[in-house]
Amino acid sequence: MAIPTDLDAVCFVEGSQVSLGPFAFYAAAKYFRMPWAFLACGRIFPAFFSWGIYRMIARNRYRLFGKAESACILPTAEQRAAQLD
């Protein structure tokens, strides 16, 4: 199976099935706890509608959900000395 290298959407792999974008979300949603698992029912919508909603949320995700600041923790000199080169 060829795996795309120019992805601009979420990818969900389950066994040999690869789902992209909103369909990856629907495939993953079945593993959510209730009531969120009902979001998997979004598969009933036509692809153009699902992709439209997906792209709208993607463009506005920071405004809708916020943005977490993240930083890498650098090891201390003692921790660095304990690492293998």
Per-residue pLDDT tens digits of the chain, which is 85 residues long: 555 566 677 889 999 998 989 999 999 999 999 988 988 998 999 999 999 998 998 889 888 888 877 778 888 888 888 887 6
Give yes or no for a contact between 25 and 54, defined as CB atoms under 8 angstroms apart.
Answer: yes
* CA proximity to 40, closest of 63, 23, 53: 23
> Is there a domain that residue 39 lies in?
yes
Instruction: Give the per-residue pLDDT at 46.
Output: 93
β partners of residue 11: 20
> Is there a domain that residue 2 lies in?
yes
Question: Which string of DSSP letters, residue by residue, matches 5-40?
Answer: SS--S-EEEETTEEEETHHHHHHHHTTSPTTGGGGG
Instruction: Give the per-residue pLDDT at 3.
Output: 59
Structural domain boundaries enclosing 35: 1-67
Q: Whole-structure pTM over 0.85, yes or no?
A: no
Question: Domain tally for the chain?
Answer: 1
